[in-house]
């Protein structure tokens, strides 16, 4: 065991729920997100089997678990070549990209980039009934002391998800010009996601703890879209997801990349309870700015930059980054410590371990 947890007085579920209500828990909750390469290196360093995700989460004292109804139907889309993967449910295409510190599968080809309404209309999506909601309930019951969430940054995400099929540039043009084919694709994606999400909530909404959704709203320096586009094309769909969660008394946390705080007042009005990613180097996204401006009205998840000390600093730099962030964010509750994105392959193993040790050491309220 690399983390001393003997001081804890709450379950993960209790700790996270108190935090999301801006109340004081026993310690700051923590979450974990990584690329596969660094994940494998961490497991090897800690003598954990590569397929034993739960053992690593327990080693770091991670409070969160994702639950989802697994796909149980016939794949709608199939692979087309050796150097490409085709996602079986939506049909987007990825290729393998290597770099000096690791590798990943990147989106390419964009099969609907030039599609008209007829092609989009005939593009196949899975049936929401082709998922195993009974198995979902079994997963939830097995993890009942942990903080469980339905959804992830892809739930309700309009720009990225449509961009996987149509290309990011074309999706932004679609939103600006009201392109019928682009808007139809967005409606088809969101309608499918909402139908599956509704079925999941119907099955386990009384037993999970929050809903996790996402949208990239900013570059590093400015909004990615205008307020007009947000209100016309993005927020109406997001409000449906937020309202559905509210009908089960579940808070919603939204992934918001880059400089996104420009939209937070609109989302607070729509009923959003928490925001995630929180890249401190982006404009108006520092821990101090967020705490001063939205503390008590939103809970926060993130702030430990994967482009900062975690990747490029020493162990001591990481510890100091965690300590300073906690010093700002802890008062009054409402903060969950997490990397700003998936931890990248260029992060040293010892830096990642130092982040979780520091979170447990400096994140105690008592």
What's the pLDDT at 78? Answer: 84
What's the pLDDT at 100? Answer: 84
Question: Which residue in 350, 330, 68 sits closest to 211, CA to CA?
Answer: 68
What's the pLDDT at 1? Answer: 61
What's the pLDDT at 179? Answer: 98
Question: CB–CB of 208/148 below 8 Å?
Answer: yes
- Ordered structural domains, the chain, with CATH: 12-74+113-362 (3.20.20.210)
- What is the gyration radius of the CA atoms in the chain, in angstroms? 20
Q: Which long-range contacts (CB under 8 A, 24 or more apart) does 103-109 make?
A: 103/37, 103/345, 104/35, 104/36, 107/163, 107/164, 108/84, 109/84
Per-residue pLDDT reduced to its tens digit, 324-356:
999 999 999 999 999 999 999 999 999 999 999
**Edge-first strand listing for the sheet containing 102-108:** 85-86, 93-99, 102-108
Q: Which two tokens stand for residue 42?
A: 């961490």
The list of the chain residues with pLDDT below 70 reads 1, 80
What's the pLDDT at 81? Answer: 77
What's the pLDDT at 107? Answer: 96
């Amino acid at each position: 065991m690399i983390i001393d947890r003997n001081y804890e007085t709450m379950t993960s579920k209790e700790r996270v729920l108190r935090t999301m209500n801006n109340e004081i828990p026993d310690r700051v909750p923590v979450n974990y997100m990584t690329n596969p390469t660094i994940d494998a290196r961490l497991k090897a360093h800690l003598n954990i089997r590569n397929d034993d995700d739960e053992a690593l989460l327990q080693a770091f004292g991670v409070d969160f678990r994702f639950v989802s109804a697994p796909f149980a139907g016939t794949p709608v889309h199939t692979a087309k070549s050796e150097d490409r993967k085709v996602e079986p449910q939506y049909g987007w295409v990825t290729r393998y990209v290597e770099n000096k510190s690791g590798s990943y599968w990147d989106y390419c080809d964009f099969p609907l980039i030039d599609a008209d309404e007829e092609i989009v209309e005939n593009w196949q999506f899975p049936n929401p009934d082709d998922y195993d909601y009974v198995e979902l309930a079994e997963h939830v019951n097995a993890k009942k002391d942990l903080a469980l969430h339905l959804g992830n940054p892809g739930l309700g995400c309009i720009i990225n998800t449509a961009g996987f099929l149509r290309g990011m540039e074309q999706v932004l043009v679609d939103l600006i010009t009201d392109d019928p084919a682009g808007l139809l694709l967005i409606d088809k994606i969101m309608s499918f996601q909402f139908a599956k999400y509704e079925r999941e909530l119907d099955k386990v909404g009384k037993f999970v703890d929050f809903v996790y959704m996402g949208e990239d709203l900013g570059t590093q320096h400015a909004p990615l879209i205008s307020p007009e586009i947000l209100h016309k094309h993005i927020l109406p769909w997001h409000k449906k997801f937020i309202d559905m969660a509210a009908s089960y008394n579940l808070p919603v946390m939204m992934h918001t990349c880059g400089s996104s705080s420009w939209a937070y007042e609109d989302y607070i009005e729509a009923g959003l309870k928490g925001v995630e990613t929180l890249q401190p180097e982006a404009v108006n996204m520092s821990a101090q700015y967020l705490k001063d401006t939205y503390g008590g009205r939103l809970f926060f998840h993130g702030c430990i930059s994967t482009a900062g000390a975690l990747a490029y600093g020493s162990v001591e730099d990481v510890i100091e980054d965690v300590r300073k962030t906690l010093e700002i964010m802890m008062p009054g509750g409402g903060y969950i410590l997490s990397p700003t994105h998936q931890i990248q392959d260029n992060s040293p193993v010892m830096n990642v371990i130092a982040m979780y040790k520091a979170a447990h050491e400096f994140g105690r309220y008592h």
